[in-house]
Structure 1
Amino acid sequence: MSKLDVIKEHLSDNFTNFANFLEIELKSEFSVIDYQGQSFIIVQFQDNTFTIKINGVETVINGFDSSKVFNISNAKIVDFIPIDGKNGLLGFGTSHCDFVFFDENDFCFVEFKLNATSPEERAIRNNRKKAVKQLENTISWFNYKLAKNYAGLNLEAYVCTPASYPRFNSSWQELEISFLEDYGIKLFERNDKTCQ
């Protein structure tokens, strides 16, 4: 049995509604967007419109902004689970990250903060801290439900922020080091993942 099959079985055994939320993506490159507080795989985009599946129905939406997506490339088979929001695995309530995805190598937790607009250092720092807290809440819950058994997959966490945020500054590095020490998981501030 592959690691992908093992983790899916483990998730199914520990989250009773897991099958209702799992989506499998076979494209080698695709993007995920946050639309009205919910994460969706973009089925297609063209010019300023994008198509997502809402309750199984392909829906075309205007106002596509390619800077507000998380891009996944070099993928073979990726399993995707929306976490937060009305149609997320954990739903509303305690603040969780937006989605998780996993393949044969990695299990990734992702939080969107792409709508942030304030250029002030304090607002940026607070946004990052809030994003990290949402990741921590989700990881703690998954660790509890899965007894920290991720079928040998490498764990990663992503905070997606606007391009205007300063990268690799001391504020971010402190969060990154603390996260690694507390959870043993690498934390990235980026809006893309290249699969192995």
Structure 2
Amino acid sequence: MQEHLLNTFAQLSDVLQIELQPEFSVIDYEGQSFIIISIESDDRFTIRLNEVDTVISGFDSTKLFNIKNAMRIGFIPIDGKKGLLGFGFSYCDFIFFDENDFCFVEFKLNAISSAERAIRKRRKEAISQLKNTINLFDDKLAKSYAGLNLEAYVCTPEFYPRLDASWRELAQDFLEEYGVPLFETNDKICK
């Protein structure tokens, strides 16, 4: 899959990261997704920013996407200044792939309202960003994902209701339209 992507996106070599840790986390920092290199304390973490390991304050363990049981992951930030697609049209935050799955991920962890209408709006916004990204990759890759299973993730705050009727309806519609399972979780356990 890596070669297929490199042949399709000229600038991919500038953003593609290969991660070999069995467990790691991804965080959104200033509108960009980064793999956390290390967690220094309850308040500080390290990311690689402009090829320099940088310690950042303000660590919040509830605002992570965690990848577990990994062997070799290809990580591509999509949105943001250093993302594959940069700022502009609304795409998901990052994608990652291993030998089994190709995953699209959108962060919606900064929500502050638990009102049902606000939750539904944030979920729909996230799904729209995932759809835009899937459509672009389907077009660029001619829907050829090297036999990998496609998955999509919406990362939401802990206070969002999980698997409620509203979410199940959105996930079912997404599956019917794209043939891609949609999950509302902040964790991926690789096979």
Report what 1:178 is aligned to.
173
Which of the residues 7, 24, 36 maps onto 2:30? 36
Q: Distance in 2 between matches of 1:31 and 1:71?
A: 4
State the TM-score, normalized to the length of structure 1: 0.96
User: How many Å apart are 1:12 and its aligned residue?
Assistant: 1.0
**Structure 2 unpaired stretches of 5+:** none
State the TM-score, normalized to the length of structure 2: 0.99
Identity %: 65
Where do 1:140-155 residues align within 5 Å?
A: 140-155=135-150
One-letter code of the match for 2:131? E
Report what 2:190 is aligned to.
195
Which of the residues 94, 104, 112 maps onto 1:109? 104
Between Structure 1 and Structure 2, how many residues are aligned? 190
Q: Deviations over 1:48-76 (max 9, x none)?
A: 10000011100000110000000001000
Report what 2:80 is aligned to.
85
Q: Distance in 2 between matches of 1:191 and 1:18?
A: 25
One-letter code of the match for 2:88? G
Q: Distance in 2 between matches of 1:119 and 1:161?
A: 11
User: How many Å apart are 1:170 and its aligned residue?
Assistant: 1.1
RMSD (Å) for aligned C-alpha atoms? 0.5
